[in-house]
Structure 1
Amino acid sequence: MSTRKLLPLISQIGTRHGSRAFRTCELKCANQCDHPEPNTTGNEHIQAVLRNAMSRRGVLKAGAAGLAAAGVAGLVSGTPAAATLPATAPTTGGAGGWPGRPERGALTHSVVPPNRRDDIVIPRGYEQAVVAAWGDPILPGAPRFDVNKQTPEAQAKQFGYNNDYTMVLPLRDERKALLVCNHEYTDEVLMFPTGKYDAKTRAKIGMAAHGMSVVGLERVGRSGRWRQDKWSFRYNRRITASTPFEVTGPVAADPRVGKVALGTFGNCAGGVTPWGTVLSGEENFQGYFDVSDTVAPEHHASFKRYGVPTTKTKSAREWSIVDARFDLTKTPNEAYRHGWIVEVDPYDPHSKPKKRSMLGRLKHEGATITITADGRIAAYTGDDERGEYVYKFVSTGKYDPKDRKKNFGLLDHGTLYVAKFTGDGASDGLYDGTGEWIPLTSDKESFVPGMSVADVLINTRLAADSVKPTRMDRPEDIERNPVNGRVYVALTNNSDRGNKFAVDEANPIAKSHVRESLNGPLVEKSGNRNGYVLELTEEGDDAAKTGFFWTLFLVCGDPSAQETYFGGYDKSKVSPISCPDNVAFDGHGNLWISTDGNVLGSNDGIFTVPVAGPERGHVKQFLSVPFGAEACGPLISDDDKTVFVAVQHPGETDDATFERPTSTWPHTHPFPRPAISCVWRRDNARVGS
């Protein structure tokens, strides 16, 4: 593999939100930050919740010792300092405490410094290799990848573009596995030679490059390295923007959606179920639709709340030129068929994927599953836009580990909730408080006056508005820690916090420090530019309960900036981190965080941080991704031997073209190819240690 480190065309031209280019914002989310926020309610914002707490600027400058001396030792040890949930709030590191000695899970990897290199930069003693890249043939009959001879039919048999959520599931042979990956969006300017294909061909190839891929893998020897496996080829699968999906749950009977929906796109994060299926969140679906004339008035309120266009417009992709369902003048109901959580069975390549309507219609970042104390299923999901909400679904039925097929309907029956956060207002120097999950609907009864069950699920944002939950700063990935039982929420950023959105105790930052370049000075700008990680403890550590305690675990940014906070750890010893996007856990319960849109002048990356013990809050950068890329995933293998990272949109800057790229990673061609890589230790020991 090439050791190329820096390209001469790298520049700051075209960046807008930290490392994000204007082009990325247009293609990924239709520039939603340039449009009025769809949530125009007066519902309390998380920043207002945080504002009710006393200023902790002085406390934030202190390290763990200073906090302990101030009588806030609970912040260092992991004990909530002001848990008002009676007897059920934890008094140790989680349900039953932290198992084993803390040093067993110590994160001792070397720190990767901030950089702008056009490579994956990893700690000393580690290696990395590409597992799957855009264009790799994965289905029978797929031709070799050739951008000069690409067709829609070829792309539908090849690995898709811009890999995001990544999951690896086991096969009976422990050396074999299945990789399941989302393909969120495409960038045709970087994908193809200028003028090579006409608009219709580009649109058809783009539709085939979206969706999901299932790819068989094999372990290389006894190492942590994985590669594609020709013997697992029978499981391989491509799902595209045209694949038929079965709509399940109450919405299937509603004429706005119906029983069948074609395709999935804008797929961001996801989750895996205990019965071995993969969930994928349809996120920024609004940017795929054109309006050739007008949209019927009865759709306006709903469309406006989701940022879907209602007046004459053309999207960046213009898919309507090859498929009329993307013209909302002709087929307005098509907008209601997207924005769902989809479920795919990777073990059965002939099964029909599902759109699970009981989890609501949002701009889903993903959906992650846990089992409640009484054996039911809970699914957490964030609505990734400024000022949107955090949701949870709890099933009616119980998970049966002995009957896989019996579990397939669990996500169709249950109750959907939305979260309200309340600050404790105490002068404890912390941003913390309590909260409640407010029910919106079950599969049989709506709890929102004037809305049917189907109304609530199709227009979940409008339904949630009416019960006054807390508006959050782009709630993205939400994961439950399998060791301490707590739930961690990545809140990526909100540049309008303190301006259009009032601050509160759960969203406290109205001004942030950023860097315009890698070695440039810190500059103060309005808003929450660097994001948070929120830690949530549900009553009795039970995901079925409706009460919880919360605290801001991380206030991200440069450690030298006054507003930052790292779980009470000494700020002089942590890595700068900006814009947390996805989270995961290793076998010891350590938190791994990927970033998207770093505003501190360096490439995005993956970071590690213990959540308990004396190292709680010690953020360390584990790797950085190539120039212009977003770090997606991360995924830590069950044996802690491998870290999988999905490198999305490398080199996506406004001055880049196919002929003049600003990245060529993974350096297999003279243009960039989004790809998934695996990282492992040379000595085959557990990663991170």
Structure 2
Amino acid sequence: MAPLRTHAWSYIVANQKDSTLFGNGDELPSNSSNNPHIHELIEGIGRRQVITGGAALGILAFLGAPLLPRTTEASQAAGLPRRQERLLFNAVPVTRADTVTVPEGFKASAFIPWGTPITGTYPTFLDDASNTARDQGEQTGMHHDGMHFFPIDAQNGKGRDSSHGLLVVNHEYIDAPLLHKNGPTVVNGKRVNANEVRKEINAHGVSIVEIRRTINGQWEVVPSARNRRITAATPMQIHGPARGHKLMVTRHSPDGTSARGTHNNCSNGFTPWGTYLTCEENWAGYFATKDTELPRELSRYGVSSTSRYGWETLAGDEFERFDATRKSSDAGGDYRNEPTTFGWIVEIDPFNPDSTPIKRTALGRFAHEGVIFAPTRSGKPVVCYSGDDSRNEYIYKYVSRDKYRPGSRNTDSLLDEGTLYAARFNADGSGEWLALDIADPAFRSACDTAGVSFADQGEVLINTRLAADVAGATKMDRPEWGAVHPDTGDVYFTLTNNTSRKEPDAANPRQNNAYGHIIRWREESRDYAGRRFKWSLFLLAGPQSDSQGPNGQPLTADNILASPDGLWFDNEGHLWIQTDMSGSQQTDGPFGNNQMLVADLKSGEMKRFLVGPVGCEVTGITATPDFRTLFVNIQHPGEGSTPNNLLSTWPNGSGKRPRAATVIITREDGRKIL
């Protein structure tokens, strides 16, 4: 998800000057706990240590971080042999062109843009966006985000087929002005056209698309029974500790075991047993309540009196569920608890179109940016990590109770029964995982000290943020994507930015951190299930004058970046970094359009590999097993466009509406990408 936007895709409906509909959707800070910010960890680190060149190296040494690779210049000065360059392509320069730019020797082509017919009657996308709500439910959704390629032979785990598979794509949100022919219809601040809202609901969610590489090397959509749209109205099951909880009861589900839909699907994950995990991020803004006193499961998540799209202003149960106002004597008569059925990680079986998606409540409820798994071994617990993408929120780890058994048909318990932890980053470079478990003595003691009570573990997880507050987790600068190094097992996380921070420190050595950075840690336990780790900084984003690269030196024209967001390791250990700048960082700063870079951790090199079109976010990445095809998503090109003011025309050009799309990248010589 993007950093807080200065203009972005806010849309004020004509003659509705006071309308708050269609705002930018970023969640306002709601953490009022006294937990320390990560920037408050180091005493004696003052404003003077804003990073300039080597200052951050001293901070890294203070933390006891692993030694960074030497640069070529430093190696020569020390009389050491020159380090061989490992990234054998020329860096793409900064650009603001309305196209996708890749290095010489590579080619990029748009694939399955918003509105591509994939199922049902396969309705053709109409250039004026006049397709119906039903059409949209049979086409790819809007604003592609996290995704994964499942080889067609990967039904039970890892497959090898690189020419045929399922591409599963998240759709984070919508630009209502572009989704409809003439924008959305609003009268006196209310939605009045039910079909428009149904179309918006159908443009959210996930697309499952069977694809195949043809004999001439081109990829195509395969008409298949596996093709599927999962939307903000698709039936879902609720599993885990919160299943059947009284705080999950709604008029639609009096027993609290089912829900409708998934939305604001940002990053993703995939399980060792071959299923897809989609993550609900800034979901709170889809709901509104007129109640003056809100329970903690709403207030701590930013639910307010107005919603992002105004869906709740229409009559009918399918829309009224977005109104969380108490209207009945009990929860079974209204939708006060509808927001508690969101904020989860949702598991989807991509190979079974008849399966019902499952919301896995043991993984916690917050603004999930994504989920990544530690290396999984037979006979060991399943361990995964997720960040809460909001200012001053936390990083989490989940450890399953049961052990992973390859080929086992009963994997439900692995994601339903386990312990959720929140991270505390200590000043000396150590860290610990704090159990959010009502049966844990330390957690119970923390609750007693704070004067906070939970009736059961289901209530702990429904109120995950509050539980992490109580436990004493460290406030972070918007944790986004994570990635695990395939060889070392080190975990990397992007912290996109936090301009509200006042004091620099070892982990955040700049005040008013507009540029963001990347941290990393190594678990002390070999199975990743332990409670202690060591952490350090990996990269400080920013211009050449205010940054530090993986080689310990300031960034250069070949790799300056801001607001790191997407993160992914390929099997060779290259770290791919995607950016999500907005506002002046794109239009006026030195960075140009959003980009994707690749870092080689052995040499310390980092180069810009791709620059996206105007106004886009570069997000989502996956590849075929042979690494000859790379898939990258381009989200919201021409952000802020309206039908009469197109700020981008990518990918179709010629005055056509901009459309989010997947980009297929290959080498012209047909070899592996790197």
Relative to the length of structure 1, the TM-score reads 0.82
Alignment correspondent of 1:493? 497
Deviation at 1:603?
0.7
Deviation at 1:300?
3.2
Structure 1 residues without counterparts, runs of 5 or longer: 1-14, 79-101, 425-432, 511-526
Deviation at 1:493?
0.5
The secondary structure found in structure 1 opposite 2:340 is helix
Opposite residue 156 of structure 1, the aligned amino acid is G
Alignment correspondent of 1:586? 570
Opposite residue 434 of structure 2, the aligned amino acid is I
Query: Is the 8 Å Cα contact of residues 51 and 507 (structure 1) preserved in structure 2?
Result: no
Which deviates the most, 564-573 or 471-480?
Answer: 564-573
Asked if 1:133 is matched to 2:113, the reply is yes
Asked if 1:218 is matched to 2:212, the reply is yes
Alignment correspondent of 1:518? none
Alignment correspondent of 1:383? 388
Query: 1: CA distance between counterparts of 2:212 and 2:650?
Result: 23
Question: Which among 395, 400, 403 is matched to residue 398 of structure 1?
Answer: 403
Asked if 1:437 is matched to 2:433, the reply is yes
Deviation at 1:294?
2.3
Deviation at 1:26?
7.8
Query: Is the 8 Å Cα contact of residues 22 and 308 (structure 2) preserved in structure 1?
Result: no
Asked if 1:171 is matched to 2:152, the reply is yes
Query: 2: CA distance between counterparts of 1:153 and 1:415?
Result: 41
Alignment correspondent of 2:258? 260
Query: 2: CA distance between counterparts of 1:171 and 1:65?
Result: 46
Query: Is the 8 Å Cα contact of residues 9 and 175 (structure 2) preserved in structure 1?
Result: no
**Residues 123-522 of structure 1: matches in 2 within 5 Å?**
123-146=103-126, 147=128, 149-172=130-153, 174-194=162-182, 199-221=193-215, 223=217, 226-230=219-223, 233-257=224-248, 258-291=256-289, 293-294=290-291, 297=293, 299-309=294-304, 311=305, 313-321=306-314, 323-329=319-325, 330=327, 331-371=335-375, 375-403=380-408, 405-424=409-428, 433-441=429-437, 447-448=443-444, 449=447, 450-451=453-454, 452-498=456-502, 502-510=503-511
Asked if 1:634 is matched to 2:621, the reply is yes
1:519-546 C-alpha deviation (Å, 9 max, x unpaired): xxxxxxxx11110110111114431121
Deviation at 1:221?
3.8
Opposite residue 524 of structure 2, the aligned amino acid is E
The 4+ residue runs of structure 1 with deviation greater than 4 A are 15-29, 50-60, 62-74, 195-198, 442-446
Alignment correspondent of 2:545? 560
Q: 1:642 to 1:541 in 2, by over 3 A?
A: farther
**Residues 105-124 of structure 1: matches in 2 within 5 Å?**
106-124=86-104
Query: 2: CA distance between counterparts of 1:39 and 1:406?
Result: 38
Query: Is the 8 Å Cα contact of residues 415 and 443 (structure 1) preserved in structure 2?
Result: no
Opposite residue 596 of structure 2, the aligned amino acid is I
**Residues 531-542 of structure 1: matches in 2 within 5 Å?**
531-542=516-527
Query: 2: CA distance between counterparts of 1:474 and 1:480?
Result: 19
Structure 2 residues without counterparts, runs of 5 or longer: 13-19, 71-82, 154-160, 186-191, 249-255, 328-334, 448-452
1:221-255 C-alpha deviation (Å, 9 max, x unpaired): 485x533223xx12101001111111000101202
Alignment correspondent of 2:671? 685
Deviation at 1:503?
4.1
Deviation at 1:337?
0.5
Deviation at 1:464?
0.7
Q: 1:627 to 1:540 in 2, by over 3 A?
A: same
Query: 1: CA distance between counterparts of 2:183 and 2:385?
Result: 44
Alignment correspondent of 1:75? 67
Query: 2: CA distance between counterparts of 1:556 and 1:18?
Result: 20
Query: 2: CA distance between counterparts of 1:355 and 1:236?
Result: 21
Asked if 1:46 is matched to 2:44, the reply is no
Q: 1:662 to 1:570 in 2, by over 3 A?
A: closer
1:360-402 C-alpha deviation (Å, 9 max, x unpaired): 1000001112245652111100000000000000001111212
Q: 1:447 to 1:64 in 2, by over 3 A?
A: closer
Query: Is the 8 Å Cα contact of residues 16 and 22 (structure 1) preserved in structure 2?
Result: no
Q: 1:67 to 1:52 in 2, by over 3 A?
A: closer
Opposite residue 659 of structure 1, the aligned amino acid is N
1:86-140 C-alpha deviation (Å, 9 max, x unpaired): xxxxxxxxxxxxxxxx97x922222111111111111111111122111111112
Query: 2: CA distance between counterparts of 1:357 and 1:577?
Result: 36
Deviation at 1:49?
2.4
Alignment correspondent of 2:74? none
Query: Is the 8 Å Cα contact of residues 475 and 492 (structure 1) preserved in structure 2?
Result: yes
Q: 1:72 to 1:438 in 2, by over 3 A?
A: closer
Deviation at 1:442?
7.1
Asked if 1:645 is matched to 2:632, the reply is yes
1:610-640 C-alpha deviation (Å, 9 max, x unpaired): 22x2x22x32111011101111112233322
Query: Is the 8 Å Cα contact of residues 363 and 415 (structure 2) preserved in structure 1?
Result: yes
Q: 1:238 to 1:40 in 2, by over 3 A?
A: same
Query: Is the 8 Å Cα contact of residues 616 and 636 (structure 2) preserved in structure 1?
Result: yes
Q: 1:28 to 1:535 in 2, by over 3 A?
A: farther
Query: 1: CA distance between counterparts of 2:402 and 2:116?
Result: 40
Query: Is the 8 Å Cα contact of residues 51 and 509 (structure 2) preserved in structure 1?
Result: no
Query: 2: CA distance between counterparts of 1:412 and 1:58?
Result: 44
Deviation at 1:53?
5.2
The secondary structure found in structure 1 opposite 2:296 is helix
Opposite residue 439 of structure 1, the aligned amino acid is A
Q: 1:136 to 1:569 in 2, by over 3 A?
A: same
Question: Which among 515, 518, 528 is matched to residue 530 of structure 1?
Answer: 515
Alignment correspondent of 1:84? none
The secondary structure found in structure 2 opposite 1:256 is helix
1:475-510 C-alpha deviation (Å, 9 max, x unpaired): 011221112210000100011011xxx544323320
Percent sequence identity over aligned pairs? 36
1:284-326 C-alpha deviation (Å, 9 max, x unpaired): 11111133x326x3x43332211111x4x35334344151101
Alignment correspondent of 1:604? 594
Query: 2: CA distance between counterparts of 1:439 and 1:16?
Result: 30
Query: Is the 8 Å Cα contact of residues 597 and 606 (structure 2) preserved in structure 1?
Result: yes
The secondary structure found in structure 1 opposite 2:411 is helix
Query: 2: CA distance between counterparts of 1:71 and 1:256?
Result: 43
Q: 1:446 to 1:26 in 2, by over 3 A?
A: farther
The secondary structure found in structure 2 opposite 1:384 is coil
1:162-185 C-alpha deviation (Å, 9 max, x unpaired): 111111000135421100011111
Which deviates the most, 17-26 or 665-674?
Answer: 17-26
Query: Is the 8 Å Cα contact of residues 359 and 411 (structure 1) preserved in structure 2?
Result: yes
Query: 2: CA distance between counterparts of 1:308 and 1:462?
Result: 15
Deviation at 1:439?
0.6
Q: 1:354 to 1:68 in 2, by over 3 A?
A: closer
Query: Is the 8 Å Cα contact of residues 489 and 534 (structure 1) preserved in structure 2?
Result: yes
Q: 1:675 to 1:71 in 2, by over 3 A?
A: closer
Aligned length: 605
Query: Is the 8 Å Cα contact of residues 604 and 625 (structure 1) preserved in structure 2?
Result: yes
Alignment correspondent of 2:450? none
Deviation at 1:19?
8.7
1:325-353 C-alpha deviation (Å, 9 max, x unpaired): 01111411001000000000001111010
Relative to the length of structure 2, the TM-score reads 0.83
Opposite residue 542 of structure 1, the aligned amino acid is D
Q: 1:397 to 1:272 in 2, by over 3 A?
A: same
Q: 1:349 to 1:587 in 2, by over 3 A?
A: same
Query: Is the 8 Å Cα contact of residues 393 and 416 (structure 1) preserved in structure 2?
Result: yes
